[in-house]
Amino acid sequence: MNVEVGNRVEMKKPHPCGENTFEILRVGMDFKIRCLTCGREVMAPRRKIEKNIRKIIGE
């Protein structure tokens, strides 16, 4: 999967605030993503994030 820093992605499961769109902040062994509604930043393993991405929206 070709995910780059700055991309916006739609996830299968929403954040607890209700939004399911996130911005990619860091790519590596772990991904750092930011919720576009509440601004909360989350780090998670690459495998988990790639599995839960529904579509890549772009920049």
For 34, the domain range is: 8-58
In terms of residues, how long is the chain?
Answer: 59
Tell me, yes or no, whether 1 lies in a domain. Answer: no
CA nearest 18: which of 1, 51, 44, 40? Answer: 40
Q: What is the CATH number of the domain that holds 52?
A: 2.30.30
pLDDT for residue 1 is more than 90? no
Residues contacting residue 47 through CB under 8 Å, at least 6 positions apart: none
Instruction: Give tens-digit pLDDT for 12-25.
Output: 999 999 999 999 99
pLDDT of residue 25: 96
Instruction: Give tens-digit pLDDT for 31-48.
Output: 999 999 999 999 999 999
Tell me, yes or no, whether 47 lies in a domain. Answer: yes
Tell me, yes or no, whether 2 lies in a domain. Answer: no
